[in-house]
Structure 1
Amino acid sequence: MNIDSIITLVAFGVYLIFMICIGMYFMGKNRTTSEYFLGGRKLGSWVTSMSAQASDMSGWLLMGLPGAAYLSGISAGWIAIGLAIGTYLNWLLVAKPLRQYTKVADDAITLPQFFKNRFKDESGMISVIAAIFILVFFLFYTASGFVSCAKLFSSVFGMPYLVSLLIGAVVVISYTFAGGFFAVCWTDFFQGLLMFFCVIAVPSIAIGSLGGPADFFAQVDSFNPNFLNLFVDGATNTPYTAIGIISLIAWGLGYFGQPHILIRFMGIESPKAIKKSRRIATVWVLISLTAAVLIGVSGRMFLGDGLLVTAGNEETIYINMVTRIFPVFIAGIFLSAILAAIMSTADSQLLVTASAITEDFYHNKIRPNASAKELMWVSRGCVMVVALIAVLIATNQNSTVLGLVEYAWAGFGSAFGPLVLCSLFWRRANKYGAYAGIIVGGLVDLFWAQMSGGIFELYEIVPGFVCGLLAIIIVSLATPAPSKEITDKFDSYRTCEE
Structure 2
Amino acid sequence: MDWDMFIKASILVLYIVGMLLVAFFTRKRSKTVGDTLLGNRNMGGWLTAFAYGTTYFSAVIFIGYAGEQGYTFGFSSLWIGVGNAVIGAAVAWIVLARRTKNMTVHLGTKTMPEFFEARYQSRHLKLLAGLIVVVFLLPYSASVYTGLGYLFKSVFGIDFIWVVLVMAFLTAVYLFFGGYFATAVSDFIQGIIMFVGVVVMIFYVFNYEKVGGFLEGIAAIGDKREEMGLAMTGTGIWQLVMLVLLTSLGSWGLPQIVHKFHTVKNEAAIKKATWVSTVFALVIGVGAYLVGCTVVLVFGDTAATIPADQRIPMLLAETLPAGLLGLITILVLSASMSTLSGLTLSISSAASIDIVKGYIKKDASDKFINYCLKIIGVVVIAISAFIAIYNDHVQEVTGKATTIVNLMSLSWGVLAGCFIGPYIYGLYDKKASKTAVYASMLGTIVITLVLYIVSKTVPATAAILFPPAIGVITIAYSILVTPLVSRFTKSPSPEMVETAFAAAKKREEKTSQS
Q: Does 1:330 align with 2:324?
A: yes
C-alpha change, 1:208 and 1:5, in structure 2 (3 Å) is closer
- Taking structure 1 as the reference length, the TM-score comes to 0.92
Using the alignment, how far apart are the partners of 2:260 and 2:162 within structure 1? Answer: 32
AA at the equivalent of 1:168: M
The aligned residue for residue 430 of structure 1 is 433
Q: Give the corresponding residue for 1:295.
A: 291
Match of 2:106 in 1: 104
Alpha-carbon distance between aligned partners in 1 of 2:253 and 2:470, rounded to the nearest angstrom: 14
2:63/2:151 contact within 8 Å kept: no
How far the C-alpha of 1:410 sits from its partner, in A, is 1.0
Q: Is the 8 A contact 1:354 1:380 kept in 2?
A: yes
The separation in 2 between residues aligned to 1:226 and 1:340, in whole angstroms, is 37
Judged with a 3 Å threshold, the aligned counterparts in structure 2 of structure 1 residues 240 and 85 are, in CA distance, closer, same or farther, namely farther
When structure 1 is superposed on structure 2, of 329-338 and 185-194 the one drifting more is 329-338
**Are the aligned partners of 2:295 and 2:311 in contact in 1 as well (CA < 8 Å)?**
no
Task: Identify the residue that residue 480 of structure 2 maps to in structure 1.
Answer: 470
Q: Which moved more, 1:69-78 or 1:183-192?
A: 69-78
Match of 1:350 among 344, 347, 363: 344
Q: What is the rounded CA distance, in whole Å, between the counterparts of 1:134 and 1:104 in structure 2?
A: 23
Closer/same/farther in 2, CA of residues 204 and 32 from structure 1, 3 Å limit: same
Give 1:173's aligned residue. Answer: 172
Q: Where does residue 231 of structure 1 map in the other structure?
A: none
- Name the aligned partner's letter for residue 292 of structure 1: A
Contact 2:225 2:231 (C-alpha < 8 Å) held by counterparts: no
Deviations 1:286-305 (A, max 9, x none): 12211112111234324445
Task: Decide whether the 8 Å contact of 1:226 with 1:237 is kept in 2.
Answer: no
Which stretch shifts more, 346-355 or 367-376?
A: 367-376
Q: Name the counterpart of 1:491.
A: 502
Partner of 1:383: 377
Shift of 1:133: 0.7
Asked whether 1:89 is paired with 2:85, we answer: no
Q: Map Cα deviations across residues 403-448 of structure 1 (whole Å, 9 max, x no partner).
A: 2111111112101111111101111112222222222233323432
**Of residues 366, 371, 374 in structure 1, which corresponds to 2:368?**
374
State how 1:102-181 maps to structure 2 within 5 Å: 102-105=104-107, 107-121=108-122, 124-181=123-180
Q: Letter of the aligned partner of 1:17 in structure 2?
A: V
Checking the alignment, whether the CA contact within 8 Å between 1:57 and 1:341 is kept in structure 2 is: yes
Q: Distance in 1 between matches of 2:486 and 2:9?
A: 56
The CA deviation at 1:134 is 0.4
Amino acid at match of 2:472: V
- Aligned residue for 2:446? 443
Q: Structure 2: how far apart are the matches of 1:325 and 1:311?
A: 18
Letter of the aligned partner of 1:312 in structure 2?
A
CA contact (8 A) 1:440 1:471 kept: no
Q: Which residue of the partner structure matches residue 37 of structure 2?
A: 37
8 A Cα contact 1:59 1:401, kept in partner: no
Number of the residue aligned with 1:312: 308
In angstroms, what is the RMSD of aligned CA positions?
Answer: 2.2
> Taking structure 1 as reference, are residues 11 and 242 closer, same or farther at Cα in structure 2, changes over 3 Å only?
closer
Deviates more, 1:70-79 or 1:110-119: 70-79
**Cα distance in 2, alignment partners of residues 151 and 5 from structure 1:** 17
Amino acid paired to 2:284: S
Q: Shift of the alpha carbon at 1:235?
A: 4.0
1:307 Cα deviation (Å)? 4.7
Aligned to 1:283: 279
Contact 2:73 / 2:236 at 8 angstroms: preserved in 1?
Answer: no
Q: Relative to 1, partners in 2 of residues 1:147 and 1:443: Cα closer, same or farther, differing over 3 Å?
A: same
Aligned to 2:30, the other structure's residue is in SS state coil
Query: Secondary structure of 2:294's match?
Result: helix
200-209 or 11-20, which deviates more: 200-209
CA contact (8 A) 1:86 1:255 kept: no
Paired AA for residue 473 in structure 2: P
- Which residue of structure 2 aligns with residue 191 of structure 1? 190
Residue 255 in 1 paired to residue 251 in 2? yes
Give the direction of change, closer, same or farther, for the CA distance of 1:214–1:467 in structure 2 (3 Å limit).
closer
Q: Percent identity?
A: 26
Distance 1:113 1:63 in 2: 34
Give how far 1:99 is off: 0.8
CA shift, 1:112, in A, is 0.8
Q: Where does structure 1 lack aligned partners over 5 or more consecutive residues?
A: 228-233
> Cα distance 1:296–1:456, how it changes in 2: closer, same or farther (>3 A)?
closer
**Deviation, structure 1 residue 311:** 2.2
Q: Is the 8 A contact 2:256 2:346 kept in 1?
A: yes
Structure 1 residues 468 and 344 mapped into 2: Cα distance closer, same or farther (>3 Å)?
A: same
Per-residue CA deviations over 1:100-120 (Å, capped at 9, x if unaligned) read 110111x21111111111122
Q: For residue 246 of structure 1, what is the amino acid of its counterpart?
A: V
Query: So what's the TM-score if we normalise by structure 2?
Result: 0.89
The 2-side partners of 1:164 and 1:110 are apart by 31
Distance 1:271 1:436, change over 3 A: farther
SS in structure 1 of the partner of residue 506 of structure 2:
coil
1:494 alignment partner, SS class = helix
88-97 or 40-49, which moves further after superposition? Answer: 88-97
Asked if 2 retains the 8 angstrom alpha-carbon contact of 1:99 and 1:271, the reply is no
Would the aligned equivalents of 2:444 and 2:477 in 1 still touch at CA under 8 Å? yes
The answer as to whether partners of 1:155 and 1:316 remain within 8 angstroms in 2 is: no
Separation in structure 2 between the aligned mates of residue 129 and residue 336 of structure 1, nearest angstrom? 37
Q: 1:236: Cα distance to partner? A: 6.7
Q: Which aligned pairs between 1:264-279 and structure 2 lie closer than 5 A? A: 264-279=260-275
Given that 1:61 and 1:341 are in contact with CA atoms closer than 8 Å, whether structure 2 keeps it comes out as no
Q: Which range is displaced more, 294-303 or 127-136? A: 294-303
- Relative to structure 1, is the Cα distance of residues 226 and 434 closer, same or farther in structure 2, using a 3 angstrom cutoff? farther
Aligned counterpart, 1:243: 238
Query: Could you say which residue in structure 2 is the equivalent of 1:230?
Result: none
Structure 2: any 5+ residue segments left out of the alignment? Answer: 393-400
Alpha-carbon separation, structure 1, partners of 2:71 and 2:375: 40
Q: Is the 8 A contact 1:257 1:416 kept in 2?
A: yes
Q: 2:465 matched to 1:456?
A: yes
| 1:410-421 map, 5 Å | 410-421=413-424
1:468 CA displacement:
2.2
Please give the alpha-carbon distance, in whole angstroms, between the structure 1 residues aligned to 2:86 and 2:453. 27
Does the 8 A contact of 1:134 with 1:412 survive in 2?
yes
Q: After superposition, where does 1:52-71 map in structure 2 within 5 Å?
A: 52-68=52-68, 69-71=70-72
Is residue 119–residue 497 contact of structure 2 (8 Å, CA) maintained in 1? no
- 2:396 counterpart residue number: none
Shift of 1:211: 4.1
The secondary structure found in structure 2 opposite 1:63 is helix
Whole-Å Cα distance in 2 between the matches of residues 327 and 77 of structure 1? 26
| Residue 403, structure 1, aligned to residue 406, structure 2 | yes
Opposite residue 493 of structure 1, the aligned amino acid is A
The structural deviation recorded for 1:316 is 4.0
Quote the offset at 1:41 in angstroms. Answer: 0.5
